[in-house]
Amino acid sequence: MRTGGALREQVYYVLLVSALIVKVKVGFIGCGGIAKLHADILSKFEDVELRAFSDVEKNRAEAFATRYGGRAYGDYREMLEKEGLDACFICIPPYAHVDQEILCAERGIHIFVEKPVALTLEKAVEVLNAVRRAGIITQVGYVRRFAESYAKARSILLERGGRVGLFEAWWIGGVAGGPDHWWRRRELSGGQLVEQTTHLVDLARWMTDDEVAEVSAFFEEELLKDLPNFNIESASAVIMRYRSGAVASITSTCAAQPKGMSVGFRVTARNLQVMSGSSWWSVIVVEGEKSEALEVSADPYTVQDRHFIDCVKAGRESEVPYLEGVKALEITLAAVKSAKTGQPVRLPMAVY
């Protein structure tokens, strides 16, 4: 076990190395859909070198290396050992989180991790402890926090909204991928709530600046059970109570018709309401007879990745550290537990 002094030294060392970085050497673990979006963005940053890519399907890493430069690996352990990375984007499916974050932490490699951060709370807390020990910079891909419209609406809500009474959100979408996709299997993805609606669960915490104290949930499991290889919930209703006493409901389904999809939220506070607008990133603030539409002027994914790289260069903790991923995961797992047992679940479920 490290002493307090040794731990401080490690943290100072990580911060000193960060301060010396001119071009951030980035690697990837997982070269699928979301990794491509990040790599496209990072390839346009002049202070980033896309140094290496790894994927269990090595041909995917090779395709990335051909497109963005850098070397390709089938084994991320070899990549982490050989490449002298400053930062690593971990873009793997939920079931695949094993030791990637911990190996990065042990080498002082800062990490950007896609949501959900794991499939179990035990794994997430193990990683949380490792990244805390190492003092590395961490960020989780809750991209809504980097949409100007969401951030401005949050400031207005927290500054002059008064007491929050109700948070509502809904993810009325479709089934991701084809019959062989990991998304359809609970043991691989965690289900729609854990994998996808987690964005709205994070929003429920961040937008209201409140913590969830209790969760009750109900799952519908018949609607889509005829689909091949499908064993996740077809629909879910989650009811939450915040520590402040405010209440929330989050509903999801992956049975929507293509033209019937809708993802949104609404917060009702004493003095105003904040709610999603007509386009993906727009947010409306309603106060009495007035209503103001807030939009974004920059792509939130680009703002998000820029924030991480800036934090790495400055040796500064990001605004969405790994802990935030653990908290969102805990709420979604509490909902799964409640749906299974028929009982409400009180939080926190673990000490961390």
Q: What is the CA radius of gyration of the chain?
A: 20
| Contact window for ligand NAD (CB under 6 A) among 24-32, 148-156, 278-286, 344-352 | 24-32
**238 scored as a contact of ligand NAD (CB under 6 A):** no
- 68-87: which residues touch ligand NAD (CB under 6 A)? 76
Instruction: Report the residue from 49, 195, 233, 330 that binds ligand NAD according to the rule CB under 6 A.
Output: 195
Shortest distance, position 161 Cβ to ligand NAD, whole Å:
27
Instruction: Report the residue from 14, 24, 26, 31 that binds ligand NAD according to the rule CB under 6 A.
Output: 31
- 100-139: which residues touch ligand NAD (CB under 6 A)? 114-115
Instruction: Report the residue from 14, 91, 137, 312 that binds ligand NAD according to the rule CB under 6 A.
Output: 91
| Contact window for ligand NAD (CB under 6 A) among 7-15, 41-49, 52-60, 231-239 | 52-60
**269 scored as a contact of ligand NAD (CB under 6 A):** no
**212 scored as a contact of ligand NAD (CB under 6 A):** no
Instruction: Determine which helix (DSSP H) or strand (DSSP E) holds 235, and give its type and residue range.
Output: strand 235-242
Q: 37 or 237, CB closer to ligand NAD?
A: 37
Shortest distance, position 94 Cβ to ligand NAD, whole Å:
5
Residues in binding contact with ligand NAD, number by CB under 6 A? 23
Shortest distance, position 160 Cβ to ligand NAD, whole Å:
30
- 215-234: which residues touch ligand NAD (CB under 6 A)? none
Distance CA 171, CA 201 (A): 11
Three-class DSSP category at 48: strand
Q: 272 or 296, CB closer to ligand NAD?
A: 296
For tokens 């402890």, name the residue.
Answer: 129
| Contact window for ligand NAD (CB under 6 A) among 40-48, 88-96, 148-156, 272-280 | 88-96
**93 scored as a contact of ligand NAD (CB under 6 A):** yes
**34 scored as a contact of ligand NAD (CB under 6 A):** yes
Shortest distance, position 62 Cβ to ligand NAD, whole Å:
12
**63 scored as a contact of ligand NAD (CB under 6 A):** no
**21 scored as a contact of ligand NAD (CB under 6 A):** no
Is the distance from CB of 43 to CB of 70 less than 8 angstroms? no
Distance CA 193, CA 171 (A): 9
Is the distance from CB of 175 to CB of 227 less than 8 angstroms? yes
Tokens for 95?
């079931």
* Nearest to 272, CA basis, from 284, 280, 260: 284
Phi-psi region of 313 (alpha: psi -120 to 50; beta: other; left: phi over 0): alpha
- Chain centroid to CA 172: 19
Tokens for 8?
């401080």
Distance CA 156, CA 97 (A): 37
Binding site residues, ligand NAD, CB under 6 A:
29-35, 54-57, 60, 76, 91-94, 96, 114-115, 141, 143, 195
